[in-house]
Amino acid sequence: MPVDFHHLFFSRLPLSRSEGGGEATDMGMGMGSSLHDGARVSHSVSFLLGALLPTVLLFFLASDRLGQKLASISSSSLGNNGSAHQQMTHAIANANNLSSSTTTHGSAQEKEEEERAFPGLAELLAKVATDDRTVIITSVNEAWAAPGSLLDLFRGSFSGGEGIAHLLNHTLIVAVDAAAYRHCRRVHPHCYLLEATSTAMNLSSASDFMSDAYLELVWAKLELQQRVLHLGHNFLFTDVDVVWLRDPFRHIAVHADMAVSCDIYSGDADALDGNWPNTGFYYVKATARTVEMMRRWRAARWRFPRGHEQEIFNHIKHELASADGDLRLRFQFLDTALFGGFCRLFHNDMATACTMHANCCFGLGKKLSDLRDVLGQWKNYTAMTPPEKKKAAGWRVPAMCGTPDKRPPPGRLLIPAGA
């Protein structure tokens, strides 16, 4: 039966005054009066504790997991499909993380240096971010931002995807040279010029994988991402050669400090061994621990000379997640069935894919050709009836990027190129 908490608490209070509102009346003589006074104190304490405990419990429930959110970034596409439980979980987590992510990370001197290195970034992020302070970030140089190049394919995939066009409004395009910035401003409202002042090399061309210019690009990217976290914003970084098909935020676990795509996925999203992370697509939650993760990731560059950021992350992921360490980060490795790529195309099909990455493919022309074909296949697929979709969900083998290692094993046939 329902509990009358008002009666429960207030009926326990001693009636220390007369009904007429006069002075306190004696309840007994000598020791009896003392006992009454003690009982009155005891009942008052019980009442105060009873009132305080629910407040304390609510506080701990709201602060248990700092930064566990992702609610608002998918809200416009969730509609009525999201459960009330999911919505409440995300809402509580969102409120928590904002307080932790905006706390002071690092020294005041470090912050001043970052502000000088990234002028205007804080103001721009405030315009781009979702209600839960999440931004999508990609980076381009002149070759990738030119008309008809990767940036156009990337942006076009949002309008052709399932309910993800609104996410483009929360996407920050980082240009690493002035020409890329000009191209970006012509087609997109949120562009930021990142000037790599530490090098005099040309970053505008389609840099070869592992060239000095390529390495400069990826490390400049990490420096900016650290600043984004410093400013209290979560981010999802995506290479510009990733086309988006469905909302990826639905599949990012709220407990993850970082969720990262894979070239090879073991089947266990939590396993540090067996998963080969691909840092062309990853989400990071803004907390003091992830800011420190980015700092250590960048510092590890000098421990592994000539390594690129993906290789070095794979080297240090165990120490970042170690239960004996001070960070104890939680990583989620994303299933290639949802977050596909050319490395293992046969693990993914159009019925489930959220993204398709032109990884394991070298050369801008090859990437452009095969990504155009991916978007063409997707357009045809979305126009089919449900029965037709069941028969034609497989991807064609990439015509330009396809190599024998991308062929499916026996029993898993893809549509041949040109079919």
348 vs 80 pLDDT, higher one? 348
Q: Tokens 């087609």 correspond to what residue? A: 187
Residue, of 63 and 333, whose pLDDT is higher: 333
Question: CB count, 10 Å around CB of 112?
Answer: 10
pLDDT of 64 strictly over 70: no
Distance CA 395, CA 130 (A): 33
| pLDDT at res. 52 | 54
Q: Do 16 and 24 meet the contact criterion of CB atoms below 8 Å apart?
A: yes
Helix residue ranges, H only, 171-308: 178-187, 212-230, 288-299
Task: Give the start-to-end residue ranges of the domains of the chain.
Answer: 104-333
pLDDT at residue 81 is higher than 50? no
Residue 199 has pLDDT above 90, yes or no: no
Greater pLDDT, 61 or 159 = 159
Radius of gyration of the chain (CA): 28
Q: What is the 3-state secondary structure (H, E, C) of 104-168?
A: CCCCHHHHHHHHHHCCCHHHHHHHHCCCCCEEEEEEECHHHHCCCCHHHHHHHHHHHCCCCHHHH
Tokens of 212: 């000095």
12-26 average pLDDT score: 38
In contact, 238 and 134? CB cutoff 8 Å: no
Residue 356 has pLDDT above 90, yes or no: yes
In the chain, the N- to C-terminal Cα span, in Å, equals 68
Helix (H) or strand (E) holding 193, with range, is strand 191-193
Distance from C-alpha of 95 to C-alpha of 72, rounded to nearest angstrom: 11
Bridge-partner residues for 388, per DSSP? none
d(CA 140, CA 372): 18
Name the region of 241 (left: φ>0; alpha: ψ -120 to 50; beta: rest): alpha
The alpha carbon torsion through 212, 291, 155, 370 (nearest 10 deg) reads: 50
Could you tell me the pLDDT band of residue 263, with boundaries at 50, 70 and 90?
Answer: very high
Q: Express each pLDDT in 367-385 by its tens digit.
A: 999 999 999 999 999 999 9
Angstrom distance (rounded) from CA 68 to CA 76: 19
**Helices assigned H by DSSP within 165-236:** 178-187, 212-230
Query: For residues 268 and 177, what is the distance between their CA atoms, to the nearest angstrom?
Result: 40
Cβ-Cβ contacts under 8 Å for 387 (sequence gap 6 or more): none
- The candidate with the shortest Cα–Cα distance to 334, out of 240, 258, 397, 273, is 258
165: its two tokens:
């066009």
Q: What is the pLDDT of residue 48?
A: 53
The per-residue pLDDT for 108 is 73
Do the beta carbons of residue 219 and residue 137 sit within 8 Å? no
Residue 260 in contact with residue 293, Cβ under 8 Å? no
Give the tens place of pLDDT for each residue, 376-419.
999 999 999 999 999 989 999 999 997 655 554 444 434 433 33
DSSP three-state, residue 70: coil
- Gap between the Cα atoms of 163 and 344, Å rounded: 26
Asked whether the beta carbons of 242 and 356 are under 8 A apart, the reply is: yes
pLDDT tens-digit series, residues 272-306: 999 999 999 999 999 999 999 999 999 999 999 87
Enter the CATH code of domain 104-333. Answer: 3.90.550
Q: Phi and psi dihedrals of 370, rounded to 5?
A: -80, -30
List beta partners, residue 171: 136
Q: Do 303 and 284 meet the contact criterion of CB atoms below 8 Å apart? A: no
Task: Name the percent of the chain lying above pLDDT 70.
Answer: 65
Do residues 243 and 157 lie in contact, with contact meaning Cβ atoms separated by under 8 Å? yes
Tens of pLDDT, residue by residue over 219-235, are 888 999 999 999 999 99
